[in-house]
Each structure stands twice: as C-alpha cells, then as structure tokens.
C-alpha cells in the first residue's frame, strides 16, 4: 500500500520565481492538505482540497494556490517567491467523512529560495 508521495524532494529557486510542488495521496484517500514547516517549527496549515475544490485555507497569502485533480493528486503553487518561503512543504492525505480524522504525511519537499 503506497503511502503519500511528494515530488520533487528538493528544489532551489530564486526570489520572484514561481514553483509547483506535487503530491499523490495514500491509496483510498480523497482529501489533501498542505502544510509549511519552517526550520525548527511545527507545520502550519496552508489549505485543504476535496472534490477538486479548496475547502479551507490557513493564514497564507494568495501567492499560495493549489489544485486537485480527479485522481485526488494535488499541486501547490507559490508565485513571486520570497526568501521567507524557504521551508519544508508537507502534503497530508485523509479520507473525508465518517469521522476519519487521521492525516498521513508525505516526506515533504524542501524548498530553498535564494
């Protein structure tokens, strides 16, 4: 049973560029959440996708956008990169409804903005 997968593993960009991160959820899961984890801190919720719609959003600017495909995979896009966007970006998948609250995390994408 494949877990949550993310690509790429590492990414280096310069300020002002745009980046796209990808996530494939755990088999059977239909909901994808994205989190940003700065060095030495806990993950911060960015947004959640379900049925190809953004269902909830954390306190992040609209430079952060996403997409979910019919196969439940998801992308996180960040425009106009800032140095402060350097972080580990985590994708978590879960199964919507029925009180299924458990979120399973992928290994993350380490983004470095120079």
Partner 1 sequence: QQQVKQSPQSLIVQKGGISIINCAYENTAFDYFPWYQQFPGKGPALLIAIRPDVSEKKEGRFTISFNKSAKQFSLHIMDSQPGDSATYFCAASSTSGSARQLTFGSGTQLTVLP
x/- letters, 74..103, toward partner 1 (CB under 8 A): ----------------x-x-x-x----xxx
Pick left, alpha or beta for residue 96 (phi over 0 → left; psi -120 to 50 → alpha; otherwise beta): beta
Instruction: Yes or no: say if 60 and 47 are a contact pair by the CB < 8 Å rule.
Output: yes
Dump the DSSP string for 45-87. Answer: EEEEEETTEEEEE-S--TTEEEEE-TTS-EEEEE-S--GGG-E
Report if residue 1 touches partner 1, rule: CB under 8 A.
no
7: which 2 tokens? 């690509």
Binding to partner 1, residues 26-65 (CB under 8 A): 33, 35, 40-45, 48, 50, 55-56, 58
Q: Based on the number of CB atoms within 10 Å of its own CB, is 10 exposed (0-12), middle (13-18) or buried (19 or more)?
A: exposed
Residue number with CB closer to partner 1 (38 or 80): 38
Nearer to partner 1, 48 or 85 (CB): 48
Of residues 15 and 55, the one with the C-beta less far from partner 1: 55
Q: Does residue 7 interact with partner 1 by CB under 8 A?
A: no
Which residues would be at the binding site for partner 1 (CB under 8 A)? 4, 33, 35, 40-45, 48, 50, 55-56, 58, 90, 92, 94, 96, 101-108
């Amino acid at each position: 049973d494949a877990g949550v997968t993310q690509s790429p593993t590492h990414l280096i960009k310069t300020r002002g560029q745009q980046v796209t991160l990808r996530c494939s959820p755990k088999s059977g899961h239909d909901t994808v959440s994205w989190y940003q984890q700065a060095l030495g801190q806990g993950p911060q919720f960015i947004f959640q996708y379900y049925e190809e719609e953004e269902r909830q959003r954390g306190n992040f600017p609209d430079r952060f956008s996403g997409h979910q495909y019919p196969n439940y995979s998801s992308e996180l896009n960040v425009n106009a990169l800032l140095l402060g966007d350097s972080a580990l970006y985590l994708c978590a998948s879960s199964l919507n409804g029925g009180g299924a609250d458990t979120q399973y995390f992928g290994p993350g994408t380490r983004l470095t903005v120079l």
